[in-house]
Structure 1
């Protein structure tokens, strides 16, 4: 696959949340009920890695520790292709429903699994369902204590499930109790729409907005010297994957336009340069590993 000639040289960041189709944070869903009972996960991962290879893109794969246990070969393949393997926690528990000690132990468990598989230090973390919010922002201190270098858990919007609408929208060093942490915060990309922050380049937003709109938003951000972060889940590129039984609103958010997402992702990745979060932080902010 050849990237188009009109490439913007800004190094936007490509990220994937590596989990199974049943990893979702709804009260009636217990992932353990579905684990090991079949999915197209390996095919999805092969497709994502192939698209990255075809477009010369590097990405950060925020990977659950349980994925490392169930698919060690997949995690090794991600690392072998030169991508950034980061933590997504162990079993997709919401961070704000854990105590500080539970959260720290959960992240450590996942980091230990991933480092053992890749032989490389895990540098970053993204909370399941963006579950670092105002009430548990101090949990970021646990990441520092574990030796991680960046967090990508904060979405500067407000939804029924997540978000800190007043959070900085640029990469920064977060403050907890008035103290700046030795940690980079890499917030999810947003744009202003109707005076409010709105996502446009990941998950439901990526599936909802048309390709031309996303491209225009990325170009606008790049012209202003800002980098866009794209994020998706493996299940979002395959309409034939199994689906959870969800109420109509949640079903719409979870599954809208999954049939068109793979083609859209390929188009976006041929139109812009993408790198991993770790490589971006190294080149732009002097991240020391």
Structure 2
């Protein structure tokens, strides 16, 4: 489908910007020291794919990345994309204290704002690690002046999820108080009586292109906006790989060889914008 023939609804495109070794499986050391990375080339390719499809995106960037690749962060901003925080070092939020979480996000926001000269408006937790027991950590984002969070996945998996969380954009309540912060939950569909993802990460790599397009189109017909998310490593089958057990290896690397073409096809079939731009257009977001 050509750009002119895209569906009218604007969906949200997001990328979690981290190195190939950033993962959060038990017993895994996040260390890629001494190994050459394809990070720069993969980022160039993501930016090219966005430009070719006239799509804008939110890039959730680690502070770690900002320190090591400041030129990449500046390039993202220069292309008109939304630069948001992914924390500093890809630590699981639910394994941090509230104080550690606050400092981790504060540090990352400072790094990113110093590079772009623009306020950071949003945050996504590594590995969707805002769950029921640490939902009150969203208060830290509010205190830091952020305007939206995109950390909640309304599913249940062995690693993350709040299965009964609202599936629409909303202002969450913590301790009986509505936060001055939008929650932008990840897209889900109903399958066999439960929520399941379809448009990001493993789900994006697992489901065939036609099926993802069908689900996005269904969401748009309901007046909803689908969210896509991917990592730089997921478009590059030649990138280094972690030594993982069979189940985790399948989840982490299944069909990375087909992801880039699938992403390009979907970007050219629907309109995509950043989370910040979507909230400006639909919820009157300032900033």
Answer whether TM exceeds 0.5 for this pair.
yes
Residue 28 of structure 1: how far off its partner (Å) = 2.4
- Matches of 1:36 and 1:106, distance apart in 2: 25
Q: Equivalents in 1 of 2:33, 2:140: separation in Å?
A: 28
- Residues 1:169 and 2:193 aligned together: no
- Matched residue of 1:93: which SS? coil
Normalised by the size of structure 2, how large is the TM-score?
Answer: 0.99
Report what 2:57 is aligned to.
Answer: 59
Alpha-carbon displacement from aligned partner over 1:144-193 (angstroms, at most 9, x marks no partner): 00000000000000000000000000000000011000000000000000
2:48 to 47, 50, 60: 50
Deviation at 1:4, TM superposition (A): 4.8
How many Å separate the matches in 2 of 1:87 and 1:18? 9
Contact 1:63 1:86 in 2 (8 A): yes
Residue-by-residue CA offset, 1:255-283 (whole Å, 9 max, x unaligned):
00000000000000000000000000000
Corresponding residue of 1:26: 25
Displacement after TM superposition at 1:26 (Å) = 1.6
Distance 2:5 2:111 in 1: 41
Query: For 2:161, what is the secondary structure of its paired residue?
Result: coil
Question: Per-residue deviation at 1:36?
Answer: 5.9
**Contact 2:16–2:229 (Cα < 8 Å) also in 1:** yes
In the aligned structure 1, how far is the partner of 2:127 from the partner of 2:33? 19
- 2:247 is aligned to 249
1:125 lines up with 2:123 in the alignment:
yes
Contact 2:106-2:144 at 8 Å conserved across structures: yes
Q: What is the aligned length?
A: 287
2: distance between equivalents of 1:262 and 1:34? Answer: 23
- Residue pair 1:169, 1:190 contacting (<8 A) in 2 also: yes
1:186 and 1:229 map into 2 onto residues whose CA distance is 9
| 1:151 equivalenced with 2:149 (yes/no) | yes
CA deviation digits over 1:120-144, x for unaligned, max 9?
0000000000000000000000000
1:175-186 aligned at under 5 Å gives the runs 175-186=173-184
Structure 2 CA distance for aligned equivalents of residues 5 and 192 of structure 1: 31
Question: Is 1:15 aligned with 2:23?
Answer: no
3-state secondary structure, aligned to 1:73:
helix
1:72 aligns with 2:55: no
Instruction: Measure how far apart 1:70 and its partner are.
Output: 0.6
**What pairs with 1:198-217 in structure 2 (closer than 5 Å)?**
198-217=196-215
Q: Which moved more, 1:115-124 or 1:6-15?
A: 6-15
CA contact (8 A) 1:3 1:55 kept: no
Cα RMSD (Å) of the superposition?
0.9
Q: CA deviation at 1:38?
A: 1.7
Q: Contact (CA 8 Å) 2:3, 2:53: kept in 1 or not? A: no
How many angstroms apart in 2 are the aligned matches of 1:231 and 1:49?
A: 14
Tell me, what secondary structure is at the counterpart of 1:85? strand
Distance 1:109 1:4 in 2: 39
Residue 83 of structure 1 deviates from its aligned partner by: 0.2
